[in-house]
Amino acid sequence: MSDIRDQIVDDRGTIKRLQLIFPGYHGYRVNEDLRDADIYLKDELYKKMLSIIDIIKNGEAGLVSSANFKALESVGKIRSEIQMLAADIKHHTAGYSGISAPIRVNANKISSLYDLDMQIFQQIVNLNELANKFYQDAMGGVVNPDSVSQIMNTLSNIKTVNDSREKLLYGGV
């Protein structure tokens, strides 16, 4: 995935470029552009998580078709974990950089938030590969315990990075 921060800078209109000229607006404009990039990235992460949920649901359907009902409990847990994590990712704070923000967020902090979201993106790419492998197995009527374990470990990694994002933003408060 290309760096959305560069795309935001390239897409600045006339008013945003004028704001960069004035000292009072320059920092605000830079921070808001970084924040917008992070918001766009979070939206993409959420969409990718939803597509993974669909893959898991389709795998569940394959298990039902094969009458492997025993495996559905572990698969349901996976889907539930992914859904909760997707909601957390969608709704975590972007960091407001405005004039009267309750918590000051500078460009470095917003950039660090974006970098953490890129780490989440890499983990979601891994999760997508694991979900596709799960799907292939499930369509054959089996669930590989190693695949389930790898999926749960990847979800744990995503949760850890997502939690560290909140610590970075609020300082562990």
> What would the pLDDT profile of 12-23 be if each residue is shown by its tens digit?
666 555 555 667
Q: Is pLDDT of 134 > 50?
A: yes
72: which 2 tokens?
């559905």
Rounded Cα distance, 159 and 98, in Å: 28
The candidate with the shortest Cα–Cα distance to 143, out of 57, 70, 51, 46, is: 70
Q: How far apart are CA 3 and CA 6, in angstroms?
A: 6
Question: Are the beta carbons of 127 and 51 closer than 8 angstroms?
Answer: no
* pLDDT value of position 173: 47
134 closest CA partner among 58, 77, 73, 81? 58
Lookup: tokens for 126: 């891994």
pLDDT score recorded for residue 37: 79
pTM: 0.78
